[in-house]
Amino acid sequence: MKLYKYIRSKYLDDFINKGLILFRSLSYFKNYEEDQIRGDRFEGTKKYAPSDGLIINNLTTGKTFKLKSSFESNVKGNDIFIFCMSSKHDQDMYNKFNADICIELTDANEFIKKVAQAVNIIKHTILIHGFVNYYNFNDPPIVDWALPDKIIMSKHEYFKWQSEYRIAFGINSAFKIENVDLFLEKDNTSCKLGNEIHTTHHLELGSLKKITKIYKFNKI
């Protein structure tokens, strides 16, 4: 399996020679306001917003009615850290990610193995990785609303062009079943944002020269 990481050339030496990679908290991307490329206000959120409203069953009265709201299940974004890549090498991706270098991981499995070894040093962590699943807010969440590991591997279909492969690790039981915050949003659009300070984790994997190939962006 091959994966691709888009970066600025100033980070190239550290990435290739030291294997220095940066994991940011999920909440960082949720609060990233610069654009809708790296930032996603629904990052770490499973949102269900059917166009005709939520069906509410009142178990006390036995009545059923529709509520013009959305249902949101939010993971503990400060306790989950992610490193993002893509399965595509595409000219447009350089522009969208403001990158002039693309690093091809020619042996992605070996790269993930190195990451797992580095993460293992951090106490009480769980590592997961895989391709991101893209969904529509009309899609019922089924049981995913209670599963943080499923929630963080899903994003709105708007981001499907990224073809993202994600490595993530959690601390403080972040992936525990039902370790989520639940909300009903009346306006059907909002998402809880915070002003917290975002923690990062720098991991040093060692030289990646043997499993990487470098592409430079050539403007047409």
Residues 87 and 131 sit within 8 Å (Cβ to Cβ): yes
Give tens-digit pLDDT for 103-117: 999 999 999 999 999
> Which of the pair, 191 or 50, is modelled with greater confidence?
50
Q: Which residue has the tokens 């049981």?
A: 143
Q: Does the CA dihedral 122-125-131-133 come out positive or negative?
A: negative
Return the pLDDT at 69. 85
Residue type at position 182 = L
pTM comes to 0.88
Instruction: Give the DSSP per-residue string, 76-102.
Output: -GGGEEEEEEES---HHHHHHTT-SEE
User: Does residue 186 have a pLDDT over 90?
Assistant: no
For residue 37, count CB atoms less than 10 angstroms from its CB and return exposed for 0-12, middle for 13-18, buried for 19 or more: middle
- Model confidence over 26-59: pLDDT tens digits? 999 887 655 555 667 899 999 999 988 888 887 7
pLDDT (0 to 100) of residue 67: 82
Q: What is the DSSP letter of 70?
A: E
